């Protein structure tokens, strides 16, 4: 499963840190969603527990939202007021997707009898949701009332949530690496 989390990690970097404000960055964001969906597909194949397939559908929806929003953002150049809220929509879809990834990963560890690891990622999921929630709240106030301080706080919490998410995905990858190494050592005959 570590390969799946590795793909999700790299796809998340492309998706999270390249805003679709130009045609090149829009293409890179779509590549990021493709890599991320491939990682979810790999988790679906390897996990005996967890419904990662449903998350793949959400990733496709997120890619379509990124494409449509990015094209509208590029064509309208902020002249259409609702497009201003596009970053909040992207954050909301990312929240749904990554909360689902944490939920399915927690289910995977729980069903394998690893309650400690499941509890650890339950806490990481909760922290991620709080960080994104604060970002969405402050960004909503910023885009509605155009106050500099709320925009700065919202962008800061958005950045912190993305860094926290990447650290958590990397920790999941390491957790699975250790688990796979332990299984290989148990399956190999004693010499």
Domain ranges of the chain: 2-178
The pTM assigned to this predicted structure is 0.87
pLDDT of residue 81: 62
Q: How confident is the model at residue 172 (pLDDT cuts 50, 70, 90)?
A: very high
In the predicted model, is pLDDT for residue 20 greater than 60? no
How far is the C-alpha of 190 from the C-alpha of 130, rounded, in Å?
47
Q: pLDDT tens across 36-60, in order?
A: 999 999 998 887 656 788 888 889 9
d(CA 73, CA 21): 7
* 23 pLDDT higher than 90: no
pLDDT average, residue stretch 140-165: 93
What tokens were used for 47?
A: 């996990």
């Amino acid at each position: 499963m570590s390969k799946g989390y590795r793909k999700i990690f790299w796809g998340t970097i492309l998706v999270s840190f390249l805003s679709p404000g130009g045609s090149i960055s829009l293409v890179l964001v779509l590549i990021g969603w493709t890599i991320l969906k491939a990682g979810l597909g790999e988790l679906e194949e390897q996990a005996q527990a967890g419904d990662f397939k449903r998350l793949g559908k959400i990733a496709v929806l997120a890619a379509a939202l990124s494409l449509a929003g990015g094209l509208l953002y590029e064509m309208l150049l902020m002249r259409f007021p609702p497009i201003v809220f596009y970053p909040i929509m992207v954050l909301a879809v990312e929240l749904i997707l990554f909360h689902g990834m944490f939920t399915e990963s927690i289910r995977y560890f729980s069903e394998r009898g690893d309650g400690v690891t499941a509890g650890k990622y339950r806490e990481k999921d909760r922290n991620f949701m709080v960080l994104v929630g604060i970002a969405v709240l402050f960004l909503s106030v910023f885009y509605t009332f155009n106050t500099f301080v709320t925009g700065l706080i919202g962008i800061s919490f958005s950045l912190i949530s993305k860094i926290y998410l990447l650290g958590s995905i990397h920790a999941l990858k390491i957790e699975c690496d250790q688990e796979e190494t332990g299984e290989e050592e148990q399956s190999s005959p004693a010499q």
